[in-house]
Chain A
Amino acid sequence: MQLFILLVALGAIAALGYFFARRKLLIAAGKTLVRPHSMPGYHGWYVALWCALPSLVVVLAWLLFEERILEALLITYLGPEIASQPANMLGLLLNDIRNLSAGDALSRDVDPALQDAADRYASLRTTARAALMGGGIALGVAGLTWSWYRVQPAFRARYGVERVIKSLLIIASFVAVVTTVGIILSVLFESIRFFSIVSVGDFLFGLEWSPQTAIREDQVGSSGAFGAVPLFTGTLLITLIAMVVALPIGLFSAIYMSEFATPGLRNAVKPVLEILAGVPTVVYGFFAALTVAPALRDMGAGLGLDVASESALAAGAVMGIMIIPFISSLSDDAMVAVPRSLREGSLAIGATKSETVIKVILPAALPGIVAACLLAISRAIGETMIVVMAAGLAAKLTANPLDAVTTVTTQMVTLLVGDQEFDSAKTLAAFALGLALFLATLALNVLALYIARKYREQYE
């Protein structure tokens, strides 16, 4: 609420600044013969930006660190003997204090010391918010006054405004970099913590995956096994099945669409095929778990085969359907991009259309098709919902497509869904898997881009 008032107040100050700065400039310009450097609007914007921006930056920075600062202040208030207890006990206590001051339910009885701490916390918070509000408005007014004196006909307000706009644009484009760095750092740090518990070799080459950790020291089966090989093979098996389904369908439809189809048919079919890429993956998961898997199981029972109800085949086949449009669209683009002269040259020496396709166009478009396949594979490896809903949970080292296997993404979801502590090996394992997934998809994408780029240079 206070924040809302602060924002409204800042907006009001900025709006006032805009209008009065414009007015001031117009009046001043009327009195002299010098033509102002910038249009009146730029002067208005200059003042408005000075009112709002510094104060917004301060407010945002405060909000990001408010909880931490308050916590530190509270701990110093509580005294050294409380501050020196283990981190998780302290966290619990702080949580209770926070809940008590917010009036929520508690996990322990309220004693006077706790009540006192909660009151202290509440008062700290109120003071902090009041200071923030006062400081924010003061900063806005200060910005107003400072910029107000600069509004003169000779002042180059447009340069100032444009500099601010450009810096905002630059900051925005750095968000993408920050995201990448964030992904790498967050996944890497948690993975390093994981690898301090489980060695890298055990993780990458271990053949057994049973991610339990002990609650008590003497528990049976307390030593969890974190060998990720069954997960990698499971992922590869499902991806392989997906590619077996998607590659022929995608490639043959791309050949037909780019070489044989009339433009009308092409314009009608291509968007419909691309619907397959737009269907949410949870819908594919539903389809795999409720339609394809039971159908396969019944079919297997009819043939006397033992098909698991969460067979890799069902998940892989449905995933294959999902990636058809990746292969067909990208291969189609690659084949259309083959220069006309190659096609016409082949036809002119008497080759049929199909011979032209197989012997000339496909080889010429091969790098593009390979890149399309790599992108499709990277898509399949990272796909989550289909395998979470249709693949199994038990890690099994098998190459039998009728068996249930589990995948990297499935395990990430099962490890992290539900309330977990952030520092058990079980949760941290999800980050190690995430790192492996990130690196694998990144490598596939870079490889695909490299191949596609190399190919482009061939004809230009």
Chain B
Amino acid sequence: MKRAGWQVLETSSRRLNKRYRRERRLKALGILAILIALGVLALLLGSVIERSYPAFVKTEIALDLNISSTLVKPDNPAKGKYGKIIRNALFDIFPKVNKRTERRELLALISRGAHFELRRMVRDEPELIDTVQRVWLTASSDVDMLVKGSMPREVPESERRLNDRQLAWLDALEEKGQLQTTFNGRFFTGSDSREPELAGIGGALAGSFWTLLITLVLAFPLGVAAAIYLQEFAPKNRITDFIEVNINNLAAVPSIVFGLLGLVIFIQLFELPRSTAVVGGLTLMLMTLPTIIISTRAALSAVPPSIREAAHGIGASPVQVVSHHVLPLALPGIMTGTIIGMARALGETAPLLMIGMVAFIVDIPSAPFDSATALPVQIFLWADSPERGFVEKMSAAIIVLLAFLILMNALAVYLRRRFETRW
């Protein structure tokens, strides 16, 4: 008897152990899943950050430039032979370099846009003509990446973009103190360029700004008005049900389809100019509208009925009830929803590709009708470029984009925390 009872206990405890093991296994799987998700997020951000920080620094080479009046006419400094000035200064440092190919290699150290920098400098200060100036010029992308360590020095010459001679020249420049790295302000103010060392996100930021401005100006009033009607005034009937289902479905339509819509309606039908912030803003407005409507309705329905009834009770008309009481109380929630919708619009790329905001644009747009591109589209454009120097630019642009998104979301969270009322 005793023995049998013990056996029963043993089998049941064995079974119990098995069940507990299963319990632990499920728990471990859950933790593992969460850790994988968090790990991937960390890997994603890490890989972007790791690649990005070189872009905030740029390499410069100092040259003693002889800006003689034979090469730059004092009466017309915009049309000088600035390339020649730079070439002469560079050849003066390395007088032994005579062969054509070698000279070309030497010139490849300086950015192709350097003579534009020099021209701007002389145009702004014509007194510089007929003086010798030590000027820090932007180095070419290959030099930049080598100095910042993005391109290893130790690999065999054939696998390097710069050969041994060029490395020797760079070392010589560095010894003389003519090579430095500084903060790359141009990255934030400049516009797109074919040369990675000159490219910046200024133009894309301006484009995103105009696009989002149009989106906000149109989507906020329209979305709030639609939500107020549906939540506060609409009778419950087939039409309003249809509108409601419609809005929910619109929120789930892939963004690229909105791009098709923008292409047909705004560009083909209304003949608005292609690639402009106006069309981008209108398209993103249609995409953001459902988000704003849904979150505004949620905010309105969170206002307790007692407030409405009290206002009705002292004689307010339905419009007055909403505009004087319900809407102000729901405003923090509406703002939060709007900011989140705008954040999504800021990160959106696909519809903008459809309406042609994907062009190479050198001018910084200053109005909604200028050709423009947006920050995420700029990232995509750089991703398509073969030059390796664009990888760091792209990563840095992503960092800027993420910074804006974090800022907007933080603002939304702050608004919610600060003004949220629990009824």
A-B contact pairs, 24 of them (CB 8 A): A166-B319, A172-B225, A173-B227, A173-B293, A175-B226, A176-B247, A176-B293, A180-B250, A186-B265, A250-B33, A253-B37, A256-B29, A272-B41, A276-B37, A278-B343, A279-B347, A280-B376, A291-B44, A328-B37, A358-B26, A382-B254, A382-B256, A389-B383, A438-B253
Q: Which of chain A's residues have a CB closer than 8 A to the CB of B343?
A: 278
Tell me how far the C-beta of B13 lies from the nearest C-beta in chain A, rounded to whole angstroms. Answer: 14
Q: Which of chain B's residues have a CB closer than 8 A to the CB of A182?
A: 261, 264-265
Q: Assess whether A169 is interfacial by the CB under 8 Å rule.
A: yes
Tell me how far the C-beta of B151 lies from the nearest C-beta in chain A, rounded to whole angstroms. Answer: 16
Most buried by B among A289, A354, A442: A354
* A interface list, Cβ under 8 A from B: 64, 67, 158, 161-162, 165-166, 168-170, 172-177, 179-180, 182-183, 186-187, 189-190, 248-253, 255-257, 260, 269, 272-273, 275-276, 278-287, 289-291, 321, 324, 328, 352-355, 357-358, 375, 378-379, 381-385, 388-389, 409, 412-413, 416-417, 422, 430-431, 434, 437-438, 441-442, 445-446, 449
CA distance A251 to B242 in the complex (A): 33
B234 close to A173 (CB less than 8 A): yes
B22 close to A352 (CB less than 8 A): yes
Given contacts A281-B347, A283-B402, A384-B350, contact A269 B317 (CB under 8 A): no
B243 close to A177 (CB less than 8 A): yes
Closest to A168 in B: B225
- Among A183, A251, A257, the residue within 8 A (CB) of B253 is A183
Q: Assess whether B67 is interfacial by the CB under 8 Å rule.
A: no
Q: Which of chain B's residues have a CB closer than 8 A to the CB of A172?
A: 221-223, 225-226, 229
Given contacts A168-B225, A282-B376, A285-B383, contact A382 B37 (CB under 8 A): no
Closest to A176 in B: B247
B256 close to A409 (CB less than 8 A): yes
Closest to A289 in B: B383
Q: Which of chain A's residues have a CB closer than 8 A to the CB of B249?
A: 180, 442, 445-446
- Among B271, B318, B344, B401, the residue within 8 A (CB) of A67 is B271
A357 close to B398 (CB less than 8 A): no
CA distance A281 to B255 in the complex (A): 11
Within 8 A of A (CB), among B323-369: 343-344, 346-350, 353-354, 356, 358
Q: Which of chain B's residues have a CB closer than 8 A to the CB of A283?
A: 44, 48, 347, 379, 398, 401-402
B317 close to A162 (CB less than 8 A): yes
CA distance A338 to B353 in the complex (A): 43
B37 close to A413 (CB less than 8 A): no
Closest to A183 in B: B261
- Among A166, A175, A378, the residue within 8 A (CB) of B252 is A378
A249 close to B383 (CB less than 8 A): no
Q: Which of chain A's residues have a CB closer than 8 A to the CB of B257?
A: 183, 187, 382, 434, 437-438, 441
Within 8 A of A (CB), among B262-297: 263-265, 268, 270-271, 286, 289-290, 293
CA distance A231 to B261 in the complex (A): 22
Chain A interface SS verdict (over half): helix
Given contacts A186-B265, A249-B36, A438-B253, contact A158 B376 (CB under 8 A): no
A256 close to B226 (CB less than 8 A): no
Q: Which of chain B's residues have a CB closer than 8 A to the CB of A289?
A: 383
Q: A354-B26, A413-B354 are in contact. List 19 more A-B contacts (CB 8 A).
A: A169-B225, A173-B243, A173-B293, A180-B249, A186-B260, A253-B37, A256-B33, A257-B30, A269-B38, A273-B37, A276-B40, A278-B344, A281-B350, A286-B394, A287-B47, A324-B37, A354-B19, A384-B255, A416-B259
Closest to A63 in B: B270
Closest to B413 in A: A271
B23 close to A353 (CB less than 8 A): yes
CA distance A446 to B401 in the complex (A): 33
A412 close to B256 (CB less than 8 A): yes
Tell me how far the C-beta of A13 lies from the nearest C-beta in chain B, rounded to whole angstroms. Answer: 22
Tell me how far the C-beta of B420 lies from the nearest C-beta in chain A, rounded to whole angstroms. Answer: 15
Q: Which of chain A's residues have a CB closer than 8 A to the CB of B391?
A: 290
Q: Which of chain B's residues have a CB closer than 8 A to the CB of A250?
A: 33
B243 close to A176 (CB less than 8 A): yes
B254 close to A381 (CB less than 8 A): yes
Q: Which of chain B's residues have a CB closer than 8 A to the CB of A175?
A: 222, 226, 289
CA distance A208 to B388 in the complex (A): 35
A442 close to B253 (CB less than 8 A): yes
Total CB contacts across the A-B interface at under 8 A: 254
Tell me how far the C-beta of B5 lies from the nearest C-beta in chain A, rounded to whole angstroms. Answer: 20
Within 8 A of A (CB), among B226-260: 226-230, 233-234, 242-243, 246-250, 252-260
Tell me how far the C-beta of B268 lies from the nearest C-beta in chain A, rounded to whole angstroms. Answer: 6
Q: Which of chain B's residues have a CB closer than 8 A to the CB of A446?
A: 249
CA distance A383 to B19 in the complex (A): 42
- Among A170, A284, A354, A389, the residue within 8 A (CB) of B22 is A354
CA distance A128 to B57 in the complex (A): 54
A385 close to B349 (CB less than 8 A): yes
Within 8 A of A (CB), among B86-145: none
Q: Which of chain B's residues have a CB closer than 8 A to the CB of A430?
A: 260
- Among A256, A284, A441, the residue within 8 A (CB) of B31 is A256
A179 close to B48 (CB less than 8 A): no
CA distance A164 to B34 in the complex (A): 53
Q: Which 8 A-B pairs have the closest CB atoms?
A: A382-B254, A256-B30, A280-B347, A172-B225, A186-B264, A252-B33, A169-B229, A384-B350
Q: Which of chain A's residues have a CB closer than 8 A to the CB of B290?
A: 176
Most buried by B among A67, A278, A381, A389: A278
Closest to A189 in B: B264
**Contact mask for chain B residues 27-65; partner A; CB cutoff 8 A; 1 contact, 0 none:** 101111110111011011001100100000000000000
CA distance A417 to B229 in the complex (A): 39
Within 8 A of A (CB), among B1-35: 19-20, 22-23, 25-27, 29-34
Q: Assess whether B405 is interfacial by the CB under 8 Å rule.
A: yes
Q: Assess whether B188 is interfacial by the CB under 8 Å rule.
A: no
A255 close to B30 (CB less than 8 A): yes
CA distance A256 to B32 in the complex (A): 10
A253 close to B34 (CB less than 8 A): yes
Closest to B51 in A: A290
Q: Which of chain A's residues have a CB closer than 8 A to the CB of B223?
A: 172
Q: Which of chain A's residues have a CB closer than 8 A to the CB of B263?
A: 416
Q: Which of chain A's residues have a CB closer than 8 A to the CB of B268?
A: 422
CA distance A251 to B26 in the complex (A): 11
CA distance A289 to B379 in the complex (A): 13
Closest to B346 in A: A280
CA distance A189 to B48 in the complex (A): 42
Tell me how far the C-beta of B4 lies from the nearest C-beta in chain A, rounded to whole angstroms. Answer: 23
Q: Assess whether B66 is interfacial by the CB under 8 Å rule.
A: no
CA distance A168 to B319 in the complex (A): 12
Q: Assess whether B409 is interfacial by the CB under 8 Å rule.
A: yes
Closest to A355 in B: B19
Tell me how far the C-beta of B41 lies from the nearest C-beta in chain A, rounded to whole angstroms. Answer: 6
Q: Which of chain B's residues have a CB closer than 8 A to the CB of A389?
A: 380, 383
CA distance A321 to B41 in the complex (A): 9
CA distance A438 to B227 in the complex (A): 25
CA distance A170 to B225 in the complex (A): 8
Tell me how far the C-beta of A239 lies from the nearest C-beta in chain B, rounded to whole angstroms. Answer: 13
Q: Which of chain A's residues have a CB closer than 8 A to the CB of B377?
A: 282
Tell me how far the C-beta of A317 lies from the nearest C-beta in chain B, rounded to whole angstroms. Answer: 9
Given contacts A253-B33, A445-B252, contact A278 B319 (CB under 8 A): no
Q: Which of chain B's residues have a CB closer than 8 A to the CB of A353?
A: 23
B358 close to A417 (CB less than 8 A): yes
A169 close to B228 (CB less than 8 A): yes
